[in-house]
Structure formats: C-alpha cells, structure tokens
C-alpha cells in the first residue's frame, strides 16, 4: 500500500507544508526530548514525552511528503506507520514504536505506574535515533523545508 492508497482510505489528507511548520514540529520534539531528561520524572512521564517526540518527528516527515494524518481515527498510529513510506523504516522500527504507542495508551488512559525505567530509557533512545534519522532525511530529501 502507498500513501496515496492511505489517502483514498481517508487515513491521511493532503497537506502543503512550509519550513516554519517543519521547524515547529522539530522544536516540539526537541523540547519533549529535553523535558524527558529532567531529574525526578516518573518512568511513565519520561516514556510519554519521548513517545510524543517520536510522533512529532514522524508527523514532520509525513508533512514533508505532503500529507497529514486524517481527522478521524488513530492519528498516532498512522503517523508511526507512515515512517515505512517516508523514511523507508523497517518493520523493526515501526514495530517498536507501535509497541510503545500501545504502552503509552495504557499509561495515559488506564493505569499509572505501568512503565519501567528500562522501557522509558528504551523509548528515549529510540526517539533520539529517530530524530537523527528524520533530520538527515530532511537534509537529503527536503532541504527546502529546513530553516537556514
């Protein structure tokens, strides 16, 4: 399936982005990655912040390709899944992020204290690696969308 197929299914909408939007999404990811390193935060909070950064990074890549998640449905799911089409991410990366999407949903809506320090650290490392990958991809594929 391609992103155009996703568009037909209304999982995505067409979107025209600008350098400022990409810069804003990257800045939100930077902020969240910084905030999740504040001493004393619970593992739940650290995982949630690192996960949020990863979603913003995926959304930036999707916007660069001319799309955004559709209004209906699981926005985070489509942003994460789109990494296979934008960055060419493999099932391992997408699968790990999807695992943390589900974990984050539990901690956000059902149960506090369900995240270990190890899981929070793993999500942080995943988000940091994704940040590097998205920035390199933008420099290579969409340099016109990067702020000078």
Does the pLDDT at position 101 exceed 80? no
Q: Which residues pair with 68 in a beta bridge?
A: 13
What is the average per-residue pLDDT within 119-145?
95
What is the average per-residue pLDDT within 18-26?
94
What is the average per-residue pLDDT within 88-100?
85
| pLDDT tens column, 75-85 | 777 788 889 88
Contact call for residues 49 and 33 (beta carbons, < 8 A): yes
Using a pLDDT cut of 90, give the percent of the chain over it.
51
H/E stretch holding 12: strand 12-14
Nearest to 131, CA basis, from 6, 36, 12, 10: 36
What's the pLDDT score for residue 40?
94
What's the pLDDT score for residue 85?
86
Its pTM stands at 0.88
One of 3.10.20.30, 3.90.1150.10, 3.30.1490.100, 1.20.120.330 is the CATH number of 3-11+18-139, namely 1.20.120.330
Q: Which residues contact 106 (CB under 8 A, 6 or more apart)?
A: 114
In Å, the largest CA–CA distance within the chain is 45
């Amino acid at each position: 399936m391609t992103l155009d197929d996703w568009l037909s299914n209304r999982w995505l909408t067409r979107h025209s982005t600008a350098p400022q939007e990409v810069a804003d999404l990257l800045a939100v990811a930077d902020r969240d990655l910084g905030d999740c390193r504040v001493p004393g935060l619970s593992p739940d909070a650290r995982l949630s912040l690192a996960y949020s950064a990863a979603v913003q990074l995926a959304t930036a890549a999707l916007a660069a390709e001319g799309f955004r998640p559709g209004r209906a449905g699981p926005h985070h799911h489509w942003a994460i899944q789109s990494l296979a089409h934008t960055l060419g991410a493999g099932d391992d990366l997408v699968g790990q992020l999807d695992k943390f999407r589900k974990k984050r949903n539990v901690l956000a809506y059902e149960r506090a204290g369900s995240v270990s320090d190890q899981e929070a650290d793993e999500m942080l490392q995943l988000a940091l690696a994704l940040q590097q990958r998205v920035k390199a991809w933008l420099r290579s594929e969409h340099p016109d969308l990067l702020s000078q």
